[in-house]
Amino acid sequence: MSPVTSRDAQDAQARPAPSEADPAVAGLTVGLGGPTGRFARLSSSWWTPLRIALAVCTVTFALGVLQKAPCMDAGWDRQSWRPFKALCYSDIGYLYQERGFAEGNVPFLDTGNYPVLEYPVLTGGFMEAAAQITWVITGDPEQDVTVEQKRDTAGVFFVVNVVLLFLCALLLVGLTVATARGVATRPGAPRGQPLDALYVAAAPVLALTSTINWDLFAVVLTAGAMYAWSRGKPIWFGVLLGLGTAAKFYPFLLLGPLLIVCLRGRKLWPWFQAVVAAVVAWVLVNAPIYLLAKEEWLSFWVFNDERASDYGSIWYVLKLAGNEVADVNKLNIVIFAGLCLSIAILGLMAPRPPRFAQLAFLVVAAFLLVNKVYSPQYVLWLLPLVALARPKLRDWLVWQACECFYWMMVWLHLAQFLAPGQPEAPDKIYWFSVILRMAGTLWLMIVVARDILLPDKDPVRHGDLVDDPGDGVAPDLPAREPVRV
C-alpha–C-alpha distance, residues 432 and 438, integer Å: 10
128-152 average pLDDT score: 88
Question: Is the pLDDT assigned to residue 484 strictly greater than 60?
Answer: no
Note the pLDDT of residue 351.
93
CB 14 within 8 A of CB 190: yes
Confidence band, pLDDT 50/70/90 cuts, at residue 14: very low
For 388-435, the pLDDT digits (tens) are 999 999 999 999 999 999 999 999 999 888 776 555 667 889 999 999
| Span of 90-99, 108-117, 139-148, 320-329 with lowest mean pLDDT | 139-148
Q: Which of 8-17, 25-34, 200-209, 426-435 has the highest mean pLDDT?
A: 200-209
Confidence band, pLDDT 50/70/90 cuts, at residue 19: low
Note the pLDDT of residue 77.
83
Cα 34 versus chain centre, distance: 33
CB 87 within 8 A of CB 408: yes
User: How far is residue 224 from each of residues 191, 234, 243, 257, measured CA to CA in Å?
Assistant: 19, 12, 10, 17
- Looking at per-residue pLDDT, the higher value among 361 and 484 belongs to 361
Q: How many CB atoms lie within 10 A of CB 464?
A: 11
C-alpha–C-alpha distance, residues 120 and 124, integer Å: 6
CB 248 within 8 A of CB 120: yes
Note the pLDDT of residue 24.
55
CB 470 within 8 A of CB 264: no
Q: Helices then strands (H, E): number in the chain?
A: 22, 0
Confidence band, pLDDT 50/70/90 cuts, at residue 12: very low
453-464 average pLDDT score: 84
- Looking at per-residue pLDDT, the higher value among 382 and 2 belongs to 382
Beta strands in 240-356 (DSSP E): none
C-alpha–C-alpha distance, residues 279 and 283, integer Å: 6
CB 99 within 8 A of CB 281: no
* ∠ CA 200-85-116, rounded to 5°: 75
Note the pLDDT of residue 29.
47
31-44 average pLDDT score: 54
286-315 average pLDDT score: 94
C-alpha–C-alpha distance, residues 50 and 253, integer Å: 28
Cα 97 versus chain centre, distance: 26
Confidence band, pLDDT 50/70/90 cuts, at residue 118: very high
Note the pLDDT of residue 73.
85
User: Which own/partner contact pairs does 147-152 have at CB distance under 8 Å and 24+ positions apart?
Assistant: 149/102, 150/96, 150/97, 150/102, 151/75, 151/76, 151/77, 151/97, 152/75
Note the pLDDT of residue 90.
95
For 172-193, the pLDDT digits (tens) are 999 999 999 875 444 454 566 8
Interhelix angle 268-292/294-306, rounded to 10 degrees, is: 110
C-alpha–C-alpha distance, residues 432 and 280, integer Å: 43
CB 418 within 8 A of CB 409: yes
Give percent above pLDDT 90 in the chain: 68
Average predicted confidence (pLDDT) for the chain: 87
User: How far is residue 42 from each of residues 9, 38, 46, 122, 200, measured CA to CA in Å?
Assistant: 7, 10, 11, 42, 22
Which of 162, 194, 168 lies closest to 181, judged by CA? Answer: 194
Q: How many CB atoms lie within 10 A of CB 51?
A: 12
CB 412 within 8 A of CB 418: yes
Confidence band, pLDDT 50/70/90 cuts, at residue 41: low
Note the pLDDT of residue 10.
47
User: How far is residue 127 from each of residues 83, 95, 96, 213, 462, measured CA to CA in Å?
Assistant: 21, 10, 9, 10, 43
356-382 average pLDDT score: 97
**b/e for 201-217, b at 16 or more Cβ within 10 A?**
bbbbbbbbbbbbbbbbb
CB 440 within 8 A of CB 379: no
Question: Is the pLDDT assigned to residue 32 strictly greater than 60?
Answer: no
Contacts of 115 (CB under 8 A, 6+ apart): 98, 99
Cα 252 versus chain centre, distance: 13
- Looking at per-residue pLDDT, the higher value among 341 and 37 belongs to 341
For 70-89, the pLDDT digits (tens) are 988 888 888 777 788 889 99
323-327 average pLDDT score: 88
Give percent above pLDDT 70 in the chain: 84
